[in-house]
Amino acid sequence: MKTAAIVVDHLSKHFKVYKKEPGVWGSIKSLWHREYETVKAVQDISFSIDEGEVIGFIGQNGAGKTTTLKMLSGLLYPTSGEVSVLGYTPWERKPDFQKQFSLVMGQKNQLWWDLPAIETFELNKAIYDIPDNQYKKTLGTLVELLDVADIIKVQVRKLSLGQRMKCELIAALLHNPKLLFLDEPTIGLDVIMQKTLRDFIREYNREFGATIILTSHYMDDVKELCKRAIIIEKGTKIFDGELQSIIAKYAKNKILSLVFSKPVQRSDLEPYGEIKELTQDGTNYTATLLVGRKSATASASKVLSKLPVQDLTIEEPPIEAIIRDVFADTKRS
Amino acid sequence: MKYTLNSYWKVFWKFRSIHAMRTFEYRKNFFFWAVVATMWTLFNIFFYKILYQHTTTVGGWGEYQLYTLVGLYTMFDAIIWSVLSHSMKYYTRDIYSGEFSNLLTKPINTVFLIFTRYNNYNNLPRFVIGVGLTIWSLLQLGAAPTPLSLMLALLAIGLGLIWISAVWLCISTLAFYVEKLDNINEVFPALRRIYSYPASIYTNTLHLVLTTVIPLGLITTLPAETLHGHLSLTSFAWLLVSTLIAVVSAALFFRFSIKRYAGVAN
Ligand SMILES: Nc1ncnc2c1ncn2[C@@H]1O[C@H](COP(=O)(O)OP(=O)(O)OP(=O)(O)O)[C@@H](O)[C@H]1O
Ligand SMILES: [Mg+2]
């Protein structure tokens, strides 16, 4: 039976920030009068995550993803709500709890800048009280998976962003955490390096059965690694479920791609759906239509019977586009 | 899985070796500051030398008696500049920058990490001069401390250091409340003046305050007097009590304050 690694119950976090009017005069005025405003970074979120699951946290900038991860790792005290992570209350910061998780933030680093990464690894060995043989074994595995045998002996300030990120990951994983919070681990990396890290994260999950929460603005990260996703918008959870069912829930349209044997007019197509693209350059006659989900097959057969169709495909829209639509909708409402 | 003293010990020395490596990495910087610190110390001793060309006692202390105190002061100062001011600087900086999160997620006491993770070795020569000056002054005085008074002197030094650390931690912890508090770590160094002289130069209420509740006057005077063979048990008691109070207040204040830690948004 699966047990829950994380249970989050009506969690909220509000920040008090003050607003400064622009300019020096605004600064002077703020000396005696400050207008405070409450930012509801996280607002009444609940979910639970099983051991061994890999979850994607999706949301726009400022949605509250990092704030949630910070509460789960015990850095922030919540404004209200209950959290249980591996059976512990995170912000009590018990060493036995802290030895079982790791928080990796793409923009933050824990490596000693002017020394080779291996020195930070040895420091963490002492801090996490890792036995010699376990340390050697884990380090060996991680170094091999990430192919960094030489890199870890070079001063960190001389490494590229991608090389450094690999070392950051090793530093965070040496104690074999059961639980991993990855906050935009692939930010700023090139496509190949992103892929390397993704493969590595998948491998780590498989090898150690680790529970992983991942946030990323690259949908590829989430699509490749996570079966389940949680979408957060303005501090509240708006979706929680299988990534695939986002399509079922939110996609209003399907995409109809058409290739014609002869030129067709825009007006010929208009009755069937929203025209996304139409190419009539003398040799290629193609069009892309957005058609209602339910009426997709009906529209397709009408187009087939009325127009000189050579080829036709019906596709689901990409998840990126659906999520973009979801966010656009919530903004409007 | 209980943490043993052993692993704290290992972490402590790992940090020392990290900073030794960094010192070698930037050895020119090290030599420069080591020379500056040494010059400064010699200048300070020279100043007392001149003082005694015009008088025979300061607050009842003869020249060589005072050198014991100056030696101790130099040792304290070496530790303050190489360890405490460094640790506290990075502590307040990290609260402001959000790097403090790194410490909070580690399975080791946060205050321990705050005090042990940084140091430099620039003041090492200074520390040696301090030890040397203390021993030399005792030899000049013909004072041979008994093992007991030696132990008590070390205890007094230890208590003084703990008191200073606790009070400094309280001051720096204000960084959780004020968005940016530049120079907050210069508050304590400004107070060092007080114990660069024997406590006996202060009179009346000031003397009372500086040797009891705020035992700044005892920091160097107590171990120096102990080494000279004048044991003051009341002073010891006061230093012990104030240190306990300082440590408990610092611990409570720190625990209360980290709840306010918001880090930075990113
Ligand atoms: N320390 C803080 N003080 C004040 N406001 C904060 C703080 N941290 C976060 N916030 C605010 O809380 C909200 C959520 O921020 P958070 O960093 O959790 O977003 P996010 O989903 O991680 O965004 P991004 O994708 O840009 O990283 C934002 O409006 C942010 O300005
Ligand atoms: Mg974030």
Q: Residue ranges of the domains in chain A?
A: 4-11+44-248, 252-315
User: Please, which residues have CB within 8 angstroms of residue B124's CB and are 6 or more apart in sequence?
Assistant: B34, B78, B82
CATH of segment(s) A4-11+44-248: 3.40.50.300
- Yes or no, beta carbons of A123 and B7 under 8 Å apart: no
Chain A residues whose CB is inside 8 A of the B104 CB are 74-75, 93
Task: Please check the confidence at residue B204 and state whether its pLDDT lies above 60.
Answer: yes
Q: Binning pLDDT at 50, 70 and 90, where does residue B1 land?
A: very low
Is the beta carbon of A74 within 6 A of some atom in ligand 1?
no
DSSP chain B: -PPPHHHHHHHHHHHHHHHHHHHHHTHHHHHHHHHHHHHHHHHHHHHHHHHHHH-S-BTTB-HHHHHHHHHHHHHHHHHIIIIIHHHHHHHHHHHHHSTHHHHHTSSS-HHHHHHHS---STTHHHHHHHHHHHHHHHHHHT----HHHHHHHHHHHHHHHHHHHHHHHHHHHGGGTSS--TTGGGHHHHHGGGGGS-GGGS-HHHHHHHTTTSGGGHHHHHHHHHHTT---HHHHHHHHHHHHHHHHHHHHHHHHHGGG------
CB atoms within 10 A of CB B146: 10
Interchain contact A114–B (C-beta under 8 A) = yes
Mean pLDDT value across residues B15-43 = 90
Query: Of A79, A94, A10, whose CA–CA distance to A48 is shortest?
Result: A10
**CB pair distance less than 8 Å for A75 and B107:** no
Q: Which CATH architecture has domain A252-315?
A: 2-Layer Sandwich (3.30)
pLDDT single digits (tens) B138-172: 999 998 889 999 999 999 999 999 999 999 999 99
d(CA B165, CA B181): 19
Chain A residues with CB under 8 Å of B266 CB are: 66, 107
**DSSP notation for A193-210:** HHHHHHHHHHHHHHHH--
Cα(B111)–Cα(A195) distance, integer angstroms: 39
Which comes out higher in pLDDT, residue B5 or B235?
B235
Q: Is the CB of B105 less than 8 angstroms away from the CB of A103?
A: yes
Select from A107, A129, A181, A184 the residue whose CB has the most chain B CBs within 10 Å, as the one to mutate to test that interface: A129
Q: Are A254 and A322 a contacting pair, CB within 8 Å? A: no
* A129 close to B (CB below 8 A): yes
Asked if ipTM goes beyond 0.90, one says: no
- CA-nearest of A246, A197, A245, A244 to A218 is A197
Q: Report, as an integer, the average pLDDT of B110-117.
A: 96
In this structure, what token pair is assigned to residue B22? 């960094």
Query: What is the SS3 assignment for A34?
Result: coil
**CA A303 to chain CA centroid, nearest Å:** 39
The DSSP call for residue A1 is -
Query: For A169-190, how does the pLDDT look when each residue is reduced to its tens digit (9 = 90+)?
Result: 999 999 999 999 999 999 888 9
Distance of residue A297 Cα from the nearest chain B Cα, in angstroms: 47
Of all residues in chain A, what percent carry a pLDDT higher than 70? 98
Name which of B6, B13, B25, B104 to mutate to probe chain A: the one with the most chain A Cβ atoms within 10 A of its Cβ.
B104
- Contacts of residue B101, Cβ cutoff 8 Å, sequence gap at least 6: A70, A75, A103, A108, B263
pLDDT tens by residue, B161-200: 999 999 999 999 998 888 777 778 888 888 998 999 999 9
Q: Of A218 and A212, which is predicted with more confidence? A: A212
Check pLDDT > 70 for residue A332. Answer: no
Largest CA distance in chain B: 64
Is 60 exceeded by the pLDDT of residue B226?
yes
Apex B142 CA angle, B137 and B143, nearest 5:
80
pTM (2 d.p.): 0.86
The reported pLDDT for the residue numbered A270 is 87
